[in-house]
Amino acid sequence: MSDPVLRLDGIFKTYNKGLPGQVEVLRGASLDVAPGEMVALVAPSGAGKSTLLHIAGLLDLADSGTVEIDGQDMTRLSDRRRTAMRRDAVGFVYQFHHLLPEFSAQENIILPMLANGMSRAHASARAITLLGQVGIAGRADHRPAALSGGEQQRVAVCRALANAPRLLLADEPTGNLDPDTSDRVFAALIALVRDTGLSALIATHNRDLAARMDRTLHLEAGRLV
């Protein structure tokens, strides 16, 4: 059996630690995500889903516990190497697209590839390929303001996959969309993840969407079940 792409073991996280009103968000959360697996993360608002994803994606540090990506213990890396791993191995999709308004859809996808050393020609071609895979290649030269909410979010998905990460983390990626648009965007996301064979951990309130993934984890009282 292949080693997990992502492994969290005994993750604890408390905010305002040692102060009155401290909040213990994660209490020994553990999970594995296998190569090519899509895992849904379901929990009510405020339960710690975003905190868990930020720790898994090396945007935040746990108080204790280990984070492994591709078998490497991230807690043992320097800040510089953690930043490089986050750039090269992890893609993020958020509830709000956070596209740069002054750039076109294609340019928003190109930018992370240029930052990672890819030539502009190759980055441009890859951006068009990704946009085609989510059905909006014809909107490549449109700026975000000229795109619908669903189109903007599909551009955000393409941007997250621009540098061919091994792991995709998504925090309510369709939570800001109406049901029909949400379904279309999620279908495009699943197809793209399956097509590229990467692993994905996707937080969602939508149990119907969660049911379309390989398995579902529930975050309850700071632990994953």
Q: How confident is the model at residue 224 (pLDDT cuts 50, 70, 90)?
A: confident
Residue 1 reports pLDDT greater than 60? no
Residue with tokens 């339960």: 47
Token duo for residue 41: 């993360």
Q: What average pLDDT does the segment 75-98 reach?
A: 86
Answer whether 162's CB lies under 8 Å from 130's CB.
yes
pTM of the model: 0.89
Angle between helices 105-115 and 149-160 (to 10 degrees): 20
Q: What is the pLDDT of residue 18?
A: 67
Beta-bridged to residue 38, according to DSSP, are 200
**Locate tokens 């490497």: which residue?**
72
What's the confidence (pLDDT) of residue 40?
A: 94
101's tokens: 């308004």
Q: What is the pLDDT of residues 45-74, one digit of tens each?
A: 777 888 999 999 998 999 999 999 998 899
* CATH fold for the domain made of 35-62+78-216: Rossmann fold (3.40.50)
Mean pLDDT across 207-223: 89
In this prediction, residue 122 carries a pLDDT of 96
Q: Where are the domains of the chain?
A: 35-62+78-216
d(CA 84, CA 173) in angstroms, rounded, equals: 24
**Pairing mode, strands 38-42 and 23-33:** unpaired
| DSSP letter assigned to residue 4 | P
Cα-based angle 134, 140, 144 (whole degrees, multiple of 5): 95
For residue 14, how many other CB atoms are within 10 A of its CB?
A: 17
